[in-house]
Amino acid sequence: MSESFEIEVKQHQALWIFTTHGYINNQGGDVIKEKYDESYNGGARKFLLNLADSKIINSIGVSILIEILEKTIEAAGELAFCNCAPIVEKTFTIMGITRYAKIYRTEEDAVKAMS
């Protein structure tokens, strides 16, 4: 019962926005990392993950998000999330991710704050 995962990438000035669709497990995390690396290698340093359509995650997928968070911090960049389901936000809080990455209620709020 393989869960499909898709990602859309768009740019708003210096901010790169990834909108995910589906389960963020190891495969989903790898897709996010691949798109992140492409934009990072192109010079991007500000990233927003819109997780409105990713209401299920697991610790393997989130560990990949920690990898990209680490890389962003090391480059003095910024990574944030928006539209997180309550369980996703709770998971990030338990793991301590929210101490290093902001969570915005909506994409509009995030774009306004990060642009």
Partner 1 sequence: MPKEPDRVVELILPMLPDMEIAATRTAEAVAEMMQLDADKTAEVSMALIEACLNSFEHSQSVDRKVFITFRVAGDELQIILKDHGVGFDPTQVEAPVIEKKLHSGARKRGWGLRLMESMMDSVKFESGPDGTTITMIKKK
The yes or no reply on residue 20 touching partner 1 (CB under 8 A) is no
The yes or no reply on residue 39 touching partner 1 (CB under 8 A) is no
Task: Note whether 45 and 75 are within 8 A (CB).
Answer: yes
The yes or no reply on residue 9 touching partner 1 (CB under 8 A) is no
Nearer to partner 1, 95 or 111 (CB): 95
Binding test (CB under 8 A) with partner 1, winner from 6, 8, 70, 108: 70
CB of 79 to partner 1, least distance (A): 12
